[in-house]
Structure 1
Amino acid sequence: MNVQSHWIDIPANGDSFPGYLSLPKGGKGPGVVIIQEIFGVNAHIRSVADRYAAAGYVAVAPDIFWRVEPRVELGYAGADREKAMEIYGKLDVTQAVSDVTATSVALRARPEVTGKVAAVGYCLGGRLAYLSTAQGAFDIAVAYYGGGIQNELELADKIKVPMQFHYGALDAHIPSAAVDLVKQRFADKDAQLYVYPNADHGFNCEDRASYNQWASALAYGRTLTFLGEHV
């Protein structure tokens, strides 16, 4: 992909934390914050940021785990998965939302950003996209299999911007009843919700056993269309 990428420091309450920045070929464009899973800003998340940069966005993936273990990169099985769950158990979600919001602020201030700023989050990142958008951090948001959103629907009224949701029909972590709750709560809002048959949790990630090429490609196309319409 013809993009330029490097790590940057994102200011946060007198401190700073790392984020992976990927710039489009033209050097400028709307902004998108790519929010990680529980496995850190690993090769997959960096590739997602690069993919959005190749599509014309200024993309940044903040290191949400920096307070626990900076720049951690983990795989999806065995000891790596156990470590990911351990780090996730130490995560302060309120601070994580604050860091996502700080990332949005920092991205908007960059000279390369020439439009609105969106959030696209995966798993944990999907939930953080939802929570930070409820605090007004983004102009549009997309949540891929965001676990726990169904338990925080009292925040839905605070979301005043377009939002899109993607779920796998086989996702045991987010059962159909939970997806239905989200769908019902957002039925009268500017929102889209898609459920992919034969797709499991993590279907977007080519490095996971649950990767589903059809669902990943379709969801990506829908996401780009959604962003293009609003950003």
Structure 2
Amino acid sequence: MGQWITLTTSKGPVAAWQAEPTGTVRGSLIVIQEIFGVTEHVRGVAEQYAAEGYLAIAPAFFDLVEPGLELPYDDAGMKRGLEIVGEIGLDAAVDLVEIAAQAARTAAGNEKVATVGYCWGGTVALLSAQRLALPSISYYGGRNGMFVDQPLKAPVQFHFGEQDAHITPDIVEAQRQAWPDMDVFTYPANHAFNRDASPAVYDEASAKTAFARAVAFLQENIG
């Protein structure tokens, strides 16, 4: 079972959910939230990866603007979440990933760190590979298309829903073209198909297949 820890940043303390595995630690994973905060679902994702042998840390990025905030999965929550991530900015988000990664290395006693991110966090995960050289798993990163002209410094695995109205096939194809050596997977599912807290979009079969692929990616890249 996980617990809340505190990360020290230049902008003040930031909470993070830390899920510790039992037995030998394979490495560490930074879990990067959607635009709703470190919700029960995000904490559950961290626990899911901890069960596979990875120390998982999910920083509460919203703490950079409004500490302790978790938003509902509705239109009002989405609107507020978009406002907050816009205020945080992607540069500050990547800086927080770097701080969390160092905390993970210390806690795990292991230098191997990767990231996994969802929606907004999917793009932060991509940037973590481009700027921090962290192997990363990017789920339906809506802003990924803005960065296809930037090289990768670490491997990235991509997951997209074929029914995602926000990320059209041409955007997915641009990522295949930009990084032909990387796996770009698509599923017969919608945006946020991994979020089991939202029955309207959750697709169990796609989520399970993607998770198995993500674990295989981690085993290959960090142990």
Q: In which range does the TM-score fall when normalised by the shorter chain?
A: over 0.9
| 2:148 counterpart residue number | 153
Higher alpha-carbon deviation: 63-72 or 37-46: 63-72
* 1:173 aligned to which of 150, 153, 166: 166
Question: For the Cα contact (< 8 Å) 2:30–2:101, is it kept in 1?
Answer: yes
Consecutive unaligned residues of structure 2, counting only runs of 5 or more, are none
| 2:63 counterpart residue number | 66
Give the TM-score, by structure 2 length.
0.93
Higher alpha-carbon deviation: 37-46 or 125-134: 125-134
CA displacement 1:139-180 (0-9 Å, x = unmatched) = x1100000111121122x2x2222100000011111000000
| 1:206 counterpart residue number | 196
What is the CA-CA distance between 1:100 and the residue it aligns to? 1.2
- The 1-side partners of 2:144 and 2:75 are apart by 27
**Kindly tell me: are residues 182 and 18 of structure 1, through their superposed partners in 2, closer, same or farther at Cα, counting changes over 3 Å?**
same
**Kindly tell me: are residues 160 and 81 of structure 1, through their superposed partners in 2, closer, same or farther at Cα, counting changes over 3 Å?**
closer
- The 1-side partners of 2:91 and 2:154 are apart by 21
- The 2-side partners of 1:11 and 1:87 are apart by 20
Question: For the Cα contact (< 8 Å) 2:9–2:96, is it kept in 1?
Answer: yes
**Kindly tell me: are residues 229 and 90 of structure 1, through their superposed partners in 2, closer, same or farther at Cα, counting changes over 3 Å?**
same
**Kindly tell me: are residues 56 and 196 of structure 1, through their superposed partners in 2, closer, same or farther at Cα, counting changes over 3 Å?**
same
Q: Give the percent of matched residue pairs that are identical in Structure 1 and Structure 2.
A: 37
Consecutive unaligned residues of structure 1, counting only runs of 5 or more, are none
- The 2-side partners of 1:18 and 1:195 are apart by 33
Q: Residue type matched to 2:218 in 1?
A: L
Q: Residue type matched to 1:143 in 2?
A: S
Question: For the Cα contact (< 8 Å) 1:167–1:194, is it kept in 2?
Answer: yes
What is the CA-CA distance between 1:14 and the residue it aligns to? 7.3
- The 2-side partners of 1:34 and 1:167 are apart by 17
Higher alpha-carbon deviation: 93-102 or 50-59: 93-102
Over the aligned positions, Cα root-mean-square deviation in angstroms equals 1.6
Q: How many residues align?
A: 221
After superposition, where does 1:80-229 map in structure 2 within 5 Å? 80-110=77-107, 112-138=108-134, 140-155=135-150, 157=151, 159-187=152-180, 189=181, 191-197=182-188, 199-208=189-198, 209-229=200-220
What is the CA-CA distance between 1:11 and the residue it aligns to? 2.2
Q: Residue type matched to 1:135 in 2?
A: R
**Kindly tell me: are residues 120 and 113 of structure 1, through their superposed partners in 2, closer, same or farther at Cα, counting changes over 3 Å?**
farther
- The 1-side partners of 2:69 and 2:24 are apart by 28
